[in-house]
Amino acid sequence: MSNCGRRVESWVDLYDLPTILKDKPVFETLDTLPADAILGLIAEHRNDPRDNKIDLGVGVYRTSAGETPVLDVVKVAEQRLLDQQTSKAYIGTAGDPEFNAAMQRLTFANPALDERLMTMQAPGGSGSLRVAAGLLLRANPDATVWVSEPTWANHHPLLGGAGLNLKPYPYYDTASHTIRLDAMLGALSGAARGDVVLLHACCHNPSGLDPSEEQWRAIADVIVERGLVPFIDMAYQGFAEDIDRDAFVIRHLADRVPEMLVCNSCSKNFGLYRDRVGTVSVLAEDTSRRDVVHSQASNVVRTMYSVPPDHGAAVVSIILSDASLRANWLIELAEMRDRLKSMRSLLNDALESKAPGADFSHLVRASGMFCFLGVSKEQVAKLKTDYGVYMVDSSRINVAGITEANVEYLAESIAAVL
């Protein structure tokens, strides 16, 4: 055994820390990493004294008052939980079976698949992606995971950092603001049998552009023909069209493939960001394979965070199992979705009048919280310095930062830098 270049004869020697540290403090080997781009942007926006500043960078939903409120149904369910909860003892590695069953129904809506499906509570969408990565690494460490170009900024560090081998497939054409379907299908046709394809179920982050049902069917055809494994990230169910239509690709593929993985996040659609609520689901060939996968996934969890956090999942479970709370949740979800849609239209309309000749119609073709504005890095910088309009370098914007009150100024600022 060796530690810091010094031979250590037994673990007992490790207690001789002062001597070892004198040789070389262990953290001296580390360097400071560059600040996270979005966190840096949030701080810059916070410190900007201008009254008319606009934040289009941050990745959470906001109301027209600029708030990210707790949903009313969440408040009711939390009160119920507070009144009824009798213990804070550990929950099982796989979480609460009732929550898992409710999330499985919300996602797949097909009881006929129950015998082949397992669903596990996980700490948010990110936690569920990390569990899925652990599972994939055990099942096929040599598999390539194909990810859209571009994709959510955290997919690479999260999945690649876990040890998966990632490769990009073309997805978004920045010039025409359309999906590069042929190029995508071409790339996936060259994938090896058993390779994994990461798809965004809806509200593609960062582009906001989702395939139509017809395009999804064509993508599914290639997946089936090539024997690929779909790995679907659904962080925005209900933010594009509705709960069912947003799950189209999952349900379509579940009818056609022997195996697939799905990661859900309840951060956005239940507004439970900091409570860390999500699930990882695996569809297996049959019940016995499903049980094997369950035992392996449980072990991945056990060796990572042991058991998931429970408060947010218990809240979701209460909401989904109570007809009236569920109906009210769907109303609140629709309010968020409709506000995002109307802000897209408002900005597009305002730009039509302030910047005639420029085409921003892709703003309304996209859905969910994000899309690219479609301006250069230099224009992004000018928007920030000259107008106090903040967005990430790629010009990805969070349309939840647009309000009736700021849209005119926003459109004028954009028109001024074009």
Ligand X SMILES: Cc1ncc(COP(=O)(O)O)c(C=O)c1O
Catalytic residues: 152, 233, 268
Contact region for ligand X (CB under 6 A) — 120-128, 324-332, 394-402, 405-413?
120-128
Closest distance of CB 273 from ligand X, Å: 6
x/- binding map, residues 34-63, to ligand X, per CB under 6 A? Answer: -------------------------x----
Of the two residues 143 and 235, which places its CB atom closer to ligand X in the complex? 235
- Strand segments, DSSP code E, in 181-236 are 196-200, 229-234
Least distance (Å) from ligand X to the CB of residue 210? 12
Closer Cβ to ligand X, 109 or 153, answer by number: 153
Label residues 45-75 b or e (16+ Cβ within 10 Å = b): beeeeeeebbbbbbbebbeeeeeeeebebbe
Least Å distance between CB 386 and ligand X? 29
CB of 15 to ligand X, least distance (A): 38
Cα 286 to Cα 346: distance, rounded to the nearest angstrom: 49
Between residue 122 and residue 151, which ones bind ligand X under the rule CB under 6 A?
124-126
Number of Cβ within a 10 Å radius of residue 17:
11
Question: What's the closest the beta carbon of residue 160 comes to ligand X, in angstroms?
Answer: 15
List 95, 134, 271, 278, residue binding ligand X (CB under 6 A): 278
Our CB check for ligand X shows the closer of 96 and 233 to be 233
Which residue from 302, 299, 298 is spatially nearest to 100, judged by alpha carbons?
Answer: 298
Whole-angstrom Cα Rg for the chain? 23
> Could you tell me the two tokens for 180?
């590069």
Q: Residue 117: beta bridge partners? A: 283
215 in helix, strand or coil?
Answer: helix
Largest pairwise CA distance in the chain: 76
For ligand X, the closer of residues 267 and 348 by Cβ is 267
Convert residues 331-370 into a mask of x (bound to ligand X by CB under 6 A) and - (unbound).
----------------------------------------
Of residues 278 and 401, the one with the C-beta less far from ligand X:
278
- The site map against ligand X for 152-191 (x = CB under 6 A) is x---------------------------------------
Please confirm whether the linkage preceding 150 is cis (ω < 30° from 0).
yes
Q: Which residue reads 């199992």 in tokens?
A: 321
Alpha helices (H) along 285-360: 287-302, 311-321, 323-354
DSSP 285: S
Lay out the site mask for ligand X across 195-214 (x = CB under 6 A, - = otherwise).
-----x----x---------
Closer of 387 and 390 to ligand X (Cβ) = 390
Q: Which is nearer to ligand X, 199 or 411 (CB)?
A: 199
Using CA atoms, how far apart are residues 229 and 223, in angstroms rounded to an integer?
A: 7
Closest approach of Cβ 232 to ligand X, in Å? 10
Q: Given candidates 100, 119, 267, 406, which one binds ligand X under the rule CB under 6 A?
A: 267
3-state percent helix, strand, coil for the chain, nearest multiple of 5? 50, 15, 35
Any contact of residue 265 with ligand X (CB under 6 A)?
yes
Q: Are 255 and 221 in contact (CB under 8 A)?
A: no
What is the rounded CA–CA span in Å between residue 392 and residue 260? 33
Under 8 Å CB-to-CB from 385, ≥6 apart: which residues? none
Helix (H, G, I), strand (E, B) or coil at 217: helix
Please state the closest distance from residue 291 (CB atom) to ligand X, in A: 27
CB closer to ligand X, 301 vs 351:
301
Q: Which of 73, 74, 56, 63 is nearest to 339 (CA)?
A: 63
Contact range with ligand X by CB under 6 A, out of 103-111, 119-127, 185-193, 253-261: 119-127
Minimal distance, residue 265 CB to ligand X, in Å: 3
**Number of residues counted as binding ligand X (CB under 6 A):** 13
Q: Which positions lie near ligand X, rule CB under 6 A?
A: 59, 124-126, 152, 200, 205, 233, 235, 265, 267, 273, 278
